[in-house]
């Protein structure tokens, strides 16, 4: 990886490498609560991404004017403004979705993903990079909610996005749409994601070791021939 990280990297790192849900383990409260159906998950992720992108952009734009002592207060005001906008727009245009998400839209204000990215990234980087970082993290959050929502809706109500997938003979696992099912799904997914990343890391390490060993072996062989 070069020192000058590419813009593309700022975007895609959020999807998997530092996935807000599975790797940073931020914003778990809405993740667990709203993923009873895929649609709720999508709506929640889109609302969060909207707030994330705009607050990152604005925080990055004003980052040089905000005194260090009051930076968190300033971030929260900016974030709260965008959350209120998102909440009002949803109530006005998508009343059904707004009802399904209940208090979790206003609660985006205290969602750690947004304050986390503001503090860790947007306050130190250019607006363009901050927007890419926000989009990447939003996409990662969307991916996580999509997976969680699909698993829980499929097993809990036999449907995906309201379309029946599993046959009537399959008895819905009610536990999957209860909070317990959310914890089960979340734990298993986090386990799988860590298992996968660990294995990838181990393979990379072994490749690296093998790469450094090869020349030594060759030298030895040459020496023996001589």
Contact 136, 121 (CB under 8 A): no
Binding track, positions 52-81, relative to another protein; x by CB under 8 A: ----------x--xxx-xx--xx--xx-xx
Q: DSSP secondary structure string, the chain? A: --SS--HHHHHHTTTTTT-TTTTS--SHHHHHHHTTSHHHHHHHHHHHHHHHHHHHHHHHHTTTTS-GGGHHHHHHHHHHHHHHHHHHHHHHH-HHHHHHHGGGTGGGGG-HHHHHHIIIIITTS-HHHHHHHHHHHHHHHHHHHHHHHHHHHHHHHSEETTEE-S-TTSPP-GGGGSHHHHHHHHHHHHHHHHHHHHHHHHHHHHHHHHHHHHHHHHHHHHHHH-
Residue 172 touching another protein (CB under 8 A): yes
User: For residues 74 and 147, which CB has a smaller minimum distance to another protein in the complex?
Assistant: 74
The least CB distance from residue 100 to another protein, in Å, is 12
Among the listed ranges 16-24, 129-137, 169-177, 183-191, the one in contact with another protein (CB under 8 A) is 169-177
The least CB distance from residue 11 to another protein, in Å, is 27
The least CB distance from residue 89 to another protein, in Å, is 7
Among the listed ranges 22-30, 89-97, 121-129, 198-206, the one in contact with another protein (CB under 8 A) is 89-97
The least CB distance from residue 7 to another protein, in Å, is 28
Angle between helices 38-61 and 71-93 (to 10 degrees): 140
Residue 224 touching another protein (CB under 8 A): no
Residue 189 touching another protein (CB under 8 A): no
The least CB distance from residue 55 to another protein, in Å, is 11
- Rule CB under 8 A: choose which of 1, 2, 3, 93 binds another protein: 93
Q: Which residues here bind another protein, judged by CB under 8 A?
A: 36, 62, 65-67, 69-70, 73-74, 77-78, 80-81, 84-85, 88-89, 91-93, 95, 156, 172, 174, 177-178
């Amino acid at each position: 990886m070069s020192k000058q990280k590419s813009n593309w990297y700022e975007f895609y790192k959020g999807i998997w490498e530092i996935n807000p849900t599975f790797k940073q383990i931020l914003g778990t409260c809405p993740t667990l609560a709203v993923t009873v159906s895929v649609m709720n998950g999508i709506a929640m992720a889109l609302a969060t991404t909207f707030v994330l992108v705009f607050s990152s952009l604005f925080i990055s734009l004003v980052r040089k004017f905000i005194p260090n002592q009051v930076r968190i207060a300033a971030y929260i005001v900016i974030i709260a403004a965008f959350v209120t906008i998102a909440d009002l727009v949803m109530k006005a245009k998508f009343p059904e979705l707004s009802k399904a998400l209940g208090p979790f839209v206003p609660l985006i204000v205290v969602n750690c993903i947004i304050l986390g990215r503001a503090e860790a990234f947007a306050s130190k980087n250019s607006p363009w990079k901050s927007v890419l970082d926000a989009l990447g993290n939003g996409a990662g959050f969307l991916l996580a909610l999509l997976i969680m929502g699909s698993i829980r809706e499929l097993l809990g109500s036999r449907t995906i996005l309201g379309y029946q997938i599993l046959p009537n003979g399959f008895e819905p696992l009610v536990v999957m749409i209860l909070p317990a099912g959310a914890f089960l799904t979340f734990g298993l997914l986090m386990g799988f994601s860590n298992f996968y990343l660990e294995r990838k890391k181990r393979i990379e390490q072994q490749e690296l070791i093998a790469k450094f060993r090869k020349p030594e072996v060759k030298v030895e062989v040459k020496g023996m021939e001589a």
